[in-house]
Structure 1
Amino acid sequence: MSIIPRVRHGAVIAAGVTVLFWASAFVSIRSAGSAYSPGALALGRLATAALLLGAFALVRRVGFPARAAWPGILTSGLLWFGGYMVFLNWGERLVDAGTAALIVNVGPILIALLSALLLGEATTRQLWIGIAVSFAGTAVVGLSMSGGGGSSLLGVLLCLLAAITYAIGVVAQKPALRHGSALQITFWSALVAAVALLPFAGVLVGEVADAPLPATLNMIYLGVGPTAIAFTTWAYALARTTAGKLGATTYVVPALVVLMSWLFLSEVPGWLTLAGGALCLAGVAVSRRSGSARRSA
């Protein structure tokens, strides 16, 4: 009887760690992205994560994944760990922050749809209402942050690709976690992505030589916190809840980004931005409520 609440409590804490690090990533990407190109930044971030996770896997004696886990590892590694980061880094150079936040946050909606269709996960009315409220909040935050005239069609398409690859990667990772631990699945996914991005190695080496120290430190931080730690805690939580419900919790990120920008960048948010952040939080609260479940046919 006491094990169930403890497991749920652990998943909630893990999800909280993830969204906190992912929110901080937007602040760090702003610094690192000024000195590193999209592919090089993604490779540097993933190489850092793979080295750190590999060291932990060695200490914990985490072995080679089971064969059944590899379809999920390869899909999530190539599309989510690798593709998503390149598309997002590139897209944020071509659209303003508000537009990027709005488009990328289509991801949780796609996760809920794909997990219901492909994984047969149950959905609830509360989940869909919560997603709708949070997405409305993201739209408000996006509109309040939009610079106007700073977006291109290519940038919009890249951000949309980031949302799609993110959603497919999450749904693919869920079955893999039945055959391996969070650390094991995250390490091998990061390694697959880093290997896939090796064509950017020459560019990365050249940019490291010219980049200012703060940009390089931010790239390393992106590998340690928002990738190595956050993707592992995400996998831990994903193994213990549905993909749709966990995906909805990422709507906390826009609210945290607003708060962090206020605290660390002295970017004072307007009342519309604050209202949008409040809607994001309210939607997550609604989506986490239990309710009657409906399964996809």
Structure 2
Amino acid sequence: MPDATARATASASAHQFTTPRFLPGAFILLWSTGYVAGKLSLNHAGPFTVCCLRFACVALLLGGAAVVSGARWPRGREAMHLAITGLLAQAVQFNALYFGLRQGVSAGVSALIIGLMPIATAALAAPLLGERTTARQWIGLGAGLAGVGLVVANKLGNGSAAPAAYGLIVLALAGLTLGTLYQKRFCARMDLRSGACIQYVAATLASLPFAAGLEGFAADWSAGMAGTMGWLIFVNSALGATMLSMLIRAGSAAKVASLFYLVPGVAAVMGFAAFGERLSATALAGFALTMGAVWVCTRAPRS
């Protein structure tokens, strides 16, 4: 992006930033695949190693794109805010999530816990961002939570993980929620190449001591490892996170967070298509309820 365009973009209000209409749906599909690819990657390497490699490769990818396109690089306080966002939304979320999955928490239960993000975001958006959460949004959020519970209800209580492992998934939820709010508050005008690169560099540096000290970067370096890592790097991280940043810039934090209600249901459909995992009538009802809740939360108010 030319410097003049970058300056114009930086001076624009976050509410003036528009996105294609297909972006929310595409984001939901891509983000949902992360549970499948992430779980598969743990068959080839430890959670900290997976995260460190993922973050480092995405940082290089985005950094190269920023240099080639001549993007403006944040400095000083702006770079610090971006680093903090990366630590929360990337390092804390994914290291905690993958380590919890490695400790035996099922993908369904993990999706349910992470699906609580809209409730946490709506509760914190008012005091932290000054956003107003309407009664309609609260009703939609509650209905969506009920829908998520129905979708993954058959998986609750079936895991063999220790209570501490579930605490790790809660920590992942906290990282994602706080990272989303922090980015909306302090990084809404960041360049999606150089700004995201700084976020991933911070996440890489935070993950590096654990990957090296606890796991020794051990991996089988097989074709399966390359395939899952490639998907995590190019689809979930580079493309998915860029879509999320665009959505955060375009709308309120509560509305963006409500999209995550669809992830468990979409992941369940993917599981059926890929592995023959059938959806029960209860799960189908939960998926329908969740879609309705997202519609309630995100549709424009009547004038």
TM-score normalised by length of structure 2: 0.87
CA distance in 2, matches of 1:220, 1:82: 18
2:24 partner letter: A
CA distance in 1, matches of 2:276, 2:181: 37
Task: Please tell me the root mean square deviation across aligned C-alpha atoms, in Å.
Answer: 2.2
SS at match of 2:292: helix
Of 48, 55, 74, 2:57 maps to 48
Please state if 1:186 is matched with 2:196. Answer: yes
Query: Any conservation in 2 of the 1:134–1:279 contact (CA below 8 Å)?
Result: yes
- Aligned residues between the structures: 286
1:96 partner letter: S
Q: How does 1:71-86 map to 2 (within 5 A)?
A: 71-86=80-95
User: Where has structure 1 moved over 6 Å in runs of 4 or more?
Assistant: none
CA distance in 2, matches of 1:150, 1:278: 29
- Tell me which residue corresponds to 1:262: 272
- Tell me which residue corresponds to 1:135: 145
Please state if 1:227 is matched with 2:243. Answer: no
CA distance in 1, matches of 2:126, 2:294: 19
Structure 1 unmatched ranges of 5 or more: 1-6, 293-297
Identity %: 27
Of 49, 58, 72, 1:63 maps to 72
Select between 144-153 and 165-174 the one with higher mean Cα deviation: 144-153
Query: Any conservation in 1 of the 2:111–2:263 contact (CA below 8 Å)?
Result: no
Select between 38-47 and 149-158 the one with higher mean Cα deviation: 149-158
CA distance in 1, matches of 2:282, 2:25: 25
CA distance in 2, matches of 1:53, 1:73: 14
User: 1:69: Cα distance to partner?
Assistant: 2.5
User: 1:17: Cα distance to partner?
Assistant: 2.7
1:173 partner letter: Q
CA distance in 1, matches of 2:149, 2:226: 32
Query: Any conservation in 1 of the 2:189–2:249 contact (CA below 8 Å)?
Result: no
Query: Any conservation in 2 of the 1:66–1:179 contact (CA below 8 Å)?
Result: no
Query: Any conservation in 2 of the 1:43–1:201 contact (CA below 8 Å)?
Result: yes
Of 256, 259, 263, 1:249 maps to 259
User: 1:206: Cα distance to partner?
Assistant: 4.3
Select between 75-84 and 139-148 the one with higher mean Cα deviation: 139-148
- Tell me which residue corresponds to 1:14: 23
Of 249, 263, 267, 1:239 maps to 249
CA distance in 2, matches of 1:174, 1:289: 20
Q: How does 1:86-125 map to 2 (within 5 A)?
A: 86-93=95-102, 94-125=104-135
Q: How does 1:175-214 map to 2 (within 5 A)?
A: 175-202=185-212, 206-208=217-219, 210-214=220-224
Deviations 1:145-186 (A, max 9, x none): 336252320111111111111100000111333442233322
2:89 partner letter: W
CA distance in 2, matches of 1:11, 1:280: 23
Structure 2 unmatched ranges of 5 or more: 1-15
2:178 partner letter: I
CA distance in 2, matches of 1:280, 1:8: 27
Q: How does 1:269-288 map to 2 (within 5 A)?
A: 269-288=279-298
Query: Any conservation in 2 of the 1:11–1:241 contact (CA below 8 Å)?
Result: no
TM-score normalised by length of structure 1: 0.88
Query: Any conservation in 2 of the 1:80–1:170 contact (CA below 8 Å)?
Result: yes
Deviations 1:202-241 (A, max 9, x none): 4777433x24321332022101111111111111121111
Deviations 1:93-118 (A, max 9, x none): 33222322222222221112222111
CA distance in 1, matches of 2:217, 2:298: 46
2:278 partner letter: V
Of 163, 167, 170, 1:157 maps to 167
- Tell me which residue corresponds to 2:45: 36
Query: Any conservation in 2 of the 1:95–1:155 contact (CA below 8 Å)?
Result: yes
